[in-house]
Chain A
C-alpha cells in the first residue's frame, strides 16, 4: 500500500499513521451521554470504500482524508484534511 500525498507525492506506507474512520463528528458539548458514547465507541466498521484520516508524520505532517477500500486496500482518493487531528481531541 502506498499513499499519494497531495503535498509530497507517492510515499510508502511506513511514513503514515492511521487514525480511523473520518465520518464520526464530535458531538456538541450538550449533546448528552448517548451521543458521546456513539462517537467514542461505536463504529460502522465498513467493508468496502471508506473515508479515513491518515497523518503524514514521516513527510509534510499534514492530516489527509484517504478514501480506501477495506476489502482490497485500493486507494481511490487522497485530499488534505486540515484540522482533522485537532477536531479529534476537541478543539
Chain B
C-alpha cells in the first residue's frame, strides 16, 4: 500500500483496523536471479536498489532472525559524511545524498533529521587536523564548518569548556549530518523492496553454498531448504567470516562487540550529535527523549552481542568529562552488537574469489550511515559486475596491494580502529 496523508486519514476513520502488513513475509521459491544473505539495512537496501535502479526484481533477501534484529536496530542512528580519505569521502557523501531523498524514494517516514554532527577538538593539533579534514570535505562539495569556542559557548552552553585536562576549544560541524530512525530505515527498505516483488524471507539461516563443477556458486542451503541463485550477495556484518568460511574463504576481518546505551527520557537537551575529541564518546538525543550514546568497541573478539563493564565505565567517564550534568540522568538500557572490523577500518564491497559470490563487509562500527550508499553500490556491483566509481577502492585485495584506506592510521589491529 502507498502511505500518504489520505491513507492515514482513511485508516484513522476506520479505527486503524485496515492497515496492511508493511511487507510480505515470503516463503522461499526454488530459484532467484539474485539472493542476498542478510536482512539488515544493507541487504534490504541492496535488494531495493536491484529492483528499482537495475531492473532485477526476482530477488530474495534471506534473514536468519527477523528484519531489524541485528545491528540495524542496535546502532546509535548517526548519519554523516565527514571523512577525509579518498575512497571514503565520495562514498559517504553519495550515501548522505541518498539519505536526503530516502523517504520520498521509499514512501516511508524514516525520521531523517539533519540536526548536525559536531566533532569537538581539545588541542591546537586536533584543531589543525579537523581544519584539514573540513577543507577536504569542502573541496569535495561537502558542507563543513570549523567553529571556535565562542561559537560553541552560544550553541552548547552546558559543555565542560574549562576542563583542566581537555578544554573544549571548538569543533568541526557538518550541519547536513544528523540521525535517522534505524528501525524505520529497515522497515522502509523492506516495504519498498517488497512492493517491487522482492521476497523477504525471515527465519531462514544459510548453512552452506551449492557449487557447480567449476566452483561457481549456484545457490544456498538454508534452514528452509535449498534455494538456487544466479548470483549471491552477502551483507551479514558480524557474521561475515562465518558465511565466507562456508565458501572456503578467509577474510581480513575480526568480529568485535560494540556497546550502545540509552538513558531515561528527558526534555530536549542535546540539539544534535556531538563527539568528544579526547576520549571515545558520542551522544545524541532521540525523539522519545532518551540520550543515545556510545564509545569504543570492547576490544576482544566476540560474537556474544553483549559487552563488559570496563567499556561501560569508560564511556560514562567520557560523557561526564564532556557534559557533567548528564551524571544526573539514569542509564536505562545498554546492549551490544557484533561489528565486522576490517584491517584498515574501511569496508569491502567487491566480487569474491568464488565466482558468483559478492561480498559487502568490513563496516566496522560505521555501517548505519552507509546503509543507502552501500545498498546502491552493492546492487551496482551485482547487476553490472563492475564496481561503482565511488566504491572502486573498497576492494578485497587492497591489503595485498598495500592500498589500505586507514582513516585512523592504526594498521592491521582491528580493535584499535
Contact A43 B252 (CB under 8 A): yes
In the bound complex, CA of A18 to CA of B252 (Å): 18
Among A43, A45, A71: residue with most chain B CB under 10 A? A45
Q: Count B interface residues, CB 8 Å.
A: 25
Chain B residues numbered 374-417 whose CB sits less than 8 Å from any CB in chain A: 399-400, 412-413, 415
- In-complex Cβ contact of A70 among B255, B308, B399, B415 (8 A): B255
Per the CB 8 Å criterion, the residue count for chain A at the interface is 25
Contact A45 B304 (CB under 8 A): no
The contact of B310 among A13, A37, A70, by CB within 8 Å, is: A13
Q: Decide if B97 is an interface residue (CB 8 Å cutoff).
A: no
- The answer to whether B300 touches A18, judged by C-beta atoms less than 8 angstroms apart, is yes
How far, in whole Å, are A33 and B241 apart by their CA atoms in the complex? Answer: 23
Q: Given the known A-B contacts A45-B301, A71-B303, A72-B304, are A14 and B400 also in contact in the complex, defined by CB atoms under 8 Å?
A: no
With a cutoff of 8 Å between Cβ atoms, the chain B residues found around residue A45 in the complex are 241-242, 251, 253-255, 301
Chain A residues with CB under 8 Å of B251's CB are 42-43, 45
A41 engages B313 (CB within 8 Å): no
Contact A41 B308 (CB under 8 A): no
Q: A1-B308, A13-B308, A14-B313 are in contact. Are A41 and B343 (CB under 8 A)?
A: yes
Q: Which residues from A are CB-within-8-Å of B413?
A: 20
Question: Per-residue 0/1 for A20-42: is the Cβ within 8 Å of any B Cβ (1 yes, 0 no)?
Answer: 11000000000001000100111
If the complex has contacts A14-B313, A41-B343, are A20 and B301 also in contact, measured as CB distance less than 8 A?
yes
* Interface presence of A50 (CB below 8 A): yes
Q: Which B residues, 239 to 258, have Cβ-Cβ distances below 8 Å to chain A? A: 241-242, 250-255
Complex-state Cα separation, A25 to B301, whole angstroms: 18
A50's contact among B241, B301, B310, by CB below 8 Å, is which? B301
Determine chain A's interface SS by DSSP, over half rule.
Answer: mixed
Min Cβ gap A81→B in Å is: 16
Write the nearest CB–CB distance from B246 to chain A, whole angstroms: 12
The residues of A that contact B304 with a CB separation of less than 8 Å are 70-73
Residues B296-340 near A (CB distance < 8 A) = 299-304, 306, 308-310, 313
A17 / chain B contacts, CB cutoff of 8 Å: 299
Using Cβ atoms and an 8 Å threshold, which residues of chain A touch B241? 43-45, 47
A79 within 8 A of B: no
Question: Given A14-B313, A41-B343, A43-B241: A70 and B250 within 8 A (CB)?
Answer: no
Does A82 sit at the interface, judged by CB under 8 A? no
A60 neighbours in B (Cβ, 8 Å): none
- B300–A41 CB distance below 8 A: no
- A9 to B291 CA separation, bound complex (whole angstroms): 38
Sample 11 A-B pairs with CB under 8 A, ordered by A number. A13-B309, A13-B310, A14-B310, A20-B415, A45-B253, A45-B254, A45-B255, A45-B301, A70-B255, A70-B302, A71-B303
Q: Which residues of B contact A (CB under 8 A)?
A: 241-242, 250-255, 299-304, 306, 308-310, 313, 343, 399-400, 412-413, 415
19 more contacts with CB within 8 A, not counting A42-B252, A43-B241, A45-B254, are A12-B309, A12-B310, A14-B310, A17-B299, A18-B299, A40-B343, A40-B412, A41-B412, A43-B250, A43-B251, A43-B254, A45-B241, A45-B242, A45-B255, A47-B241, A47-B242, A52-B300, A52-B301, A70-B255
